[in-house]
Amino acid sequence: MERGGAMVWSVIIPAYNEAERLPAYLREVVLFFEGRGEPYEVLVVDDGSRDATGDRVRELERSFPRLRLLALPENRGKGHAVRVGMVNARGAFRLFADADGATPIRELERLEPALRAGADVVIGSRALQDPAVRVRAHVHRVVAGRVFNWLVARLGLAGIADSQCGFKCFRAAAAEDLFRALRTDGYGFDVELLLLAQRRGYRIAEVAVNWVDQPGSKVRVLTDGPRMLWQILATRAGYPRQRRGGARGRTER
């Protein structure tokens, strides 16, 4: 891994009305990276929150100089917020993580070996089996997730067990390329992102991570699920079945 004065890690956390849940996770993130001794930054992208999310982050900025708030004037969606964070980040490795802390930041240590081995994109997974990993989720979300990923596979995203886990890491070059091309603003952005990565030949690794369902989820299965599928269908129609000029990207587990 790269050390020295150059920025090594960027953590992007999209947030919409997360004044209650976000501060504890931000403290966890900062404590984790302070113990590593590598240059890092934490970017919170406030996606037009109507609560005190921005105020809470500004308060923490006084204590955590590596923390930076990017406040958007209006709510555009999670995909847009993550894109803004990724293109404004400076790290050689760029992770986005959900504000609720469902995936502990220490799970980054599970993603690192794949990065060291040369993967361009490493995604956390709640679907892969690993005896050292525990996923605690409500049954209806597990079922909905399996159905969603089955449908997504039929639409062209092959070889990915869990497209929607909000814990994904990118090499800087891959992040710049993929997020500048991303068009989906809403929750369906993960699928477009992975479709792009496959078609552009990036090496993708999927790794099982610990995950605990958190109260207050912004995703509603019955309303957001169909909306996400519609976003994916609209995006999928704009992509050829194979990337230009070569083979598809590989997904490793």
Q: Which residues are catalytic?
A: 190
The phi and psi torsions of 205 (rounded to 5 degrees) equal -125, 140
Report in angstroms the alpha-carbon separations of 227 from 160, 194, 202.
Answer: 20, 18, 27
- How many separate helices (H) and strands (E) can be counted in the chain? 8, 10
The vertex-230 CA angle with 209 and 51, nearest 5°, equals: 65
At position 25, the amino acid (one-letter code) is: Y
Cross-strand partners of 10: 41, 94
Bridge partners (DSSP) of residue 70 are 45
Closest CA to 54 of 91, 87, 26: 26
